[in-house]
Amino acid sequence: MKSVFYNKEKANEEKKDKVEVDVEFERRANYFKGLVNDKKFRKYILEEILDKEIQTNKDISGSIESMIIATPEEIKAMMIAKNSALITSQKIKNRITINF
């Protein structure tokens, strides 16, 4: 059976741990607020996301399996879609780079 008695020492320890956790949470929140306002950090994150998207659109190895069973018209449509996504991603990255 579980003991339901109040343990003052354990309560004080838990209170101290809770304060430490709250201080750590506040410190992290302030750190991330600072990062959100930092334009260079945002540029870095956006460029990294766009670089991955550009690389995905350049690489057709993920589409090869679907291209094998596709008709020539479907392959053409997939290639046009990948190419337009690539061009769009590159244009967005260029605009971000210029504006920061």
Dihedral angle, C-alpha 27, 33, 36, 39, nearest 10 °:
-90
pLDDT tens, the chain, 100 aa long: 566 777 888 888 888 888 888 999 999 888 888 877 887 787 788 888 889 988 888 887 777 777 788 888 988 998 898 899 999 989 988 888 777 6
Domain parsing of the chain, residue ranges: 7-37, 39-100
- Assign 65 to helix, strand or coil: helix
Tell me, what's the pLDDT at 3? Answer: 63
User: pLDDT value at position 84?
Assistant: 92
- The whole-number pLDDT of residue 100 equals 66
Q: Which residue has the tokens 């309560």?
A: 11
